[in-house]
Amino acid sequence: MGSKTKRHGLITRVWHWLNLVCVVILFMSGLTISNAHRYLYWGEWGFSPDQAWLSVPRFPGWLTIPTNYNLAEARDWHLLMAWPFAVGLLVMWIAMLITGHFWRDIRTRLREWKPTAIWQDITEHLKLNFDHEVGKYNFLQKLAYGVVLGIFLPGMVLSGLAISPGFEPAAPWIVELLGGRQSARSIHFIFSWGLFGFFVIHVALVILAGPIGQIRDMITGGNAAEEKQV
Amino acid sequence: MKYAIGRRSLLAGMSALFVGACSKVADSSVGRSLFDASQRWHQSVHRSLADRMALAKEYSKAEISPFFRGNGSLTVDTPEYEASVVNQFKDWTLEVRGLVDTPLTLTMENIRSLTQRTQITRHDCVEGWSAIGEWTGPQLSTLLEAAGVQNDAKFAVFRCADTLAGRQYYESVDLVDAMHPQTIIAHELNGEPLEVQNGAPLRMRIERQLGYKHAKYLTAIELVADLADLGEGEGGYWEDRAGYQWYAGI
């Protein structure tokens, strides 16, 4: 496998880039779907602006797939890319649990949850000092990757399934858990912007930490001995 | 500043390239067949994870939404329909025809005299909104059993009186959804005869699929072996006109 000497394992690298393509297409086609009905509700139902908790702005064509308003084509993309997105995430999770990547590198420990240590991590980030000692990732990285891998990405799959009336009879508990179909739709929307926020910070930190080396390592695997990470 | 502008146009250029590539894929035959395959996978996964006859969730009376908005066609723009509204649909008939042993023609009275099913269900529009209503009517399976579906029939097609943008509305489902216990021909909403905006006097309820499958102003149910000869061959009004997915369970 060579996972001892590579900075990023093969499965991690393949998944990372596949997932990027999926998330970008899902996000941009999702904005077209949002344009179809720009109101979000809590509970099971909702159909008019006065029932909405949020009225979403209309997203311009340069942000959406396709660039014109075409709900059918946006749904075609969204429902197609949902497959590699969900299956890829499942494979990544199985791999992370088998190789111990999650348990060893991403899980945070109780002792790390100390305000002083967290504060120090934040100030080091603000000083753009990304060198850290033991372990692959620092606390903030573990937290960010853990929240994205453990909550936001699977949350997108679950809330997406919950919106599907054909899937609901197979697992009605998902819709119940999320508080009804319109709540699931709202959560789907909120989580998608959570992922967008992660994407922006992630890209910013990659740029600050030296984008060429970071991107090269995420393609070739890099060398674990010369770790310097965002 | 030169650098900033360069970076911005680089980003915009990358985005345009990417979106342009997406639209190339979407227009290609490979893209189309991937989209169609994806739709079939969704349908078969839904059907293998749940029982084919598994029910959509039903709600209590307290959960019914305050009113049920009309969408798509809000009326039928013909003098005949206006006359039917005036005489409270006494002249309305529903045909069951096509690949059946005994074609049927039912009046509203015939339909009301059949065994009725009342269900409080959630209606999900493809655009994203939902409303909950109580629907009453006979199960489609009752009519299909009475007419005798022939072996080569594969789809039930719903013929409608309304036109949208100059085209006749129609829809279709396969026989699994046609025979589903919650697939009813509704003539009442929340205990009252259907209002015109909701499809009076008859509309389909296809509870595990999105709203555009729930054909309104129903005039006939036609059993067919193939959808290719109907309309533009995609199996429904929105499928023909805008390319919506025929399987609307997602």
User: Three-state SS for B93?
Assistant: strand
In whole angstroms, how far apart are CA A97 and each of A104, A107, A112, A140, A219?
10, 11, 21, 21, 22
Contacts 24+ apart (CB under 8 A), B103-106: B103/B147, B104/B143, B104/B146, B104/B147, B106/B143
Q: Which CATH architecture has domain B58-242?
A: Alpha-Beta Complex (3.90)
State yes or no: pLDDT of B80 exceeds 60: yes
Beta-carbon separation of B57 and A67 below 8 A = no
State yes or no: pLDDT of B20 exceeds 90: no
Q: Does A17 contact chain B (CB < 8 Å)?
A: no
- Tens of pLDDT, residues B209-229: 999 999 999 999 999 999 999
Output DSSP code: residue A172: H
pLDDT of B94: 98
Average pLDDT value for chain A? 91
> Residues of B with CB below 8 A from A68's CB?
none
Contact B233, B240 (CB under 8 A): yes
pLDDT of B10: 75
- Tens of pLDDT, residues A45-73: 999 999 999 999 999 999 999 999 999 99
State yes or no: pLDDT of B1 exceeds 50: no
Q: Which of A45, A83, A185 sits opposite B132 (nearest CB)?
A: A45
> Residues of A with CB below 8 A from B235's CB?
none
- Tens of pLDDT, residues A119-136: 888 888 888 887 765 567
pLDDT of A116: 87
List, edge to edge, every strand of the sheet that includes B218-224: B104-107, B93-98, B218-224, B155-164, B167-174
Structure tokens at A74: 């946006």
Q: Does A75 contact chain B (CB < 8 Å)?
A: yes
Q: Does B242 contact chain A (CB < 8 Å)?
A: yes
User: Three-state SS for B249?
Assistant: coil
The interface residues of chain B toward chain A in range 202-241, judged by CB-CB distance below 8 A, are: 207-210, 238
Distance between terminal CA atoms of chain B? 47
State yes or no: pLDDT of A2 exceeds 50: no
State yes or no: pLDDT of B136 exceeds 60: yes
pTM above 0.80, yes or no: yes
Contact B248, A78 (CB under 8 A): no
pLDDT band, residue A117 (cuts 50/70/90) = confident
pLDDT of A134: 57
pLDDT band, residue A152 (cuts 50/70/90) = very high
Between CA B214 and CA A189 the distance in angstroms is 27
Q: Which residues of A198-229 are buried (b: 16+ CB within 10 A; e: fewer)?
A: beeebeebbeeeeeeebeebbeebbeeeeeeb
The interface residues of chain B toward chain A in range 55-84, judged by CB-CB distance below 8 A, are: 55-57, 59, 63, 65, 69
If you search the block for the tokens 């899980």, which residue do you land on?
A: A107
Contact B135, B205 (CB under 8 A): yes
Residues counted in chain A: 230
Q: Does domain A10-220 bear CATH number 1.10.490.10?
A: no
Output DSSP code: residue B197: G
Structure tokens at A200: 């922006």
State yes or no: pLDDT of A150 exceeds 80: yes
Give the mean pLDDT of B124-138. 97
Between CA A152 and CA A202 the distance in angstroms is 15
Structure tokens at B127: 């655009």
In whole angstroms, how far apart are CA B190 and each of B60, B65, B102?
12, 10, 33
Residue spans per domain, chain A: 10-220
pLDDT band, residue A7 (cuts 50/70/90) = confident
pLDDT of A133: 57
Q: Which of A62, A70, A75 sits opposite B245 (nearest CB)?
A: A75
ipTM of the predicted structure? 0.91
> Residues of A with CB below 8 A from B50's CB?
167, 169-170
